[in-house]
Amino acid sequence: MPKIKTHRGAAKRFKKTASGKFLRHSAFKRHLLGSKTTKRKRQLSKATVASKSDQGTLEKMLPYK
């Protein structure tokens, strides 16, 4: 059985936790930041768990992560 290639774009964007979930960073933190509150910007900078519906896709894209 050949090895499965890792999706390099996904490898740069997602991190796997010890429990097997995937962490992702939030969008909307690049520009137009003056209209966003400090609290909102701070919360957007934290990593969050990727949605449950994306877990299967991410498992296939990142088989050895």
Split into its structural domains, the chain has a count of: 1
Close Cβ partners of 64 (under 8 Å, ≥ 6 residues apart): 4, 6
Contact between residue 65 and residue 6 where contact means Cβ atoms under 8 Å apart? yes
Instruction: Answer whether residue 44 is part of any domain.
Output: yes
Task: Identify any residues that bridge with 49 across adjacent strands, giving them in sequence order.
Answer: 23
User: Containing domain of residue 44, as a range?
Assistant: 8-61
Contact between residue 47 and residue 23 where contact means Cβ atoms under 8 Å apart? yes
Instruction: Answer whether residue 18 is part of any domain.
Output: yes
What ranges in 1-65 are assigned the alpha helix state H?
Answer: 8-13, 38-44, 55-61
Query: Which is higher by pLDDT, 51 or 1?
Result: 51
**Tell me, what CATH number does 37's domain have?**
4.10.410.60
Query: Could you report the per-residue pLDDT of 30-62, keeping only the tens digit for each?
Result: 999 999 999 999 999 999 999 999 999 999 999
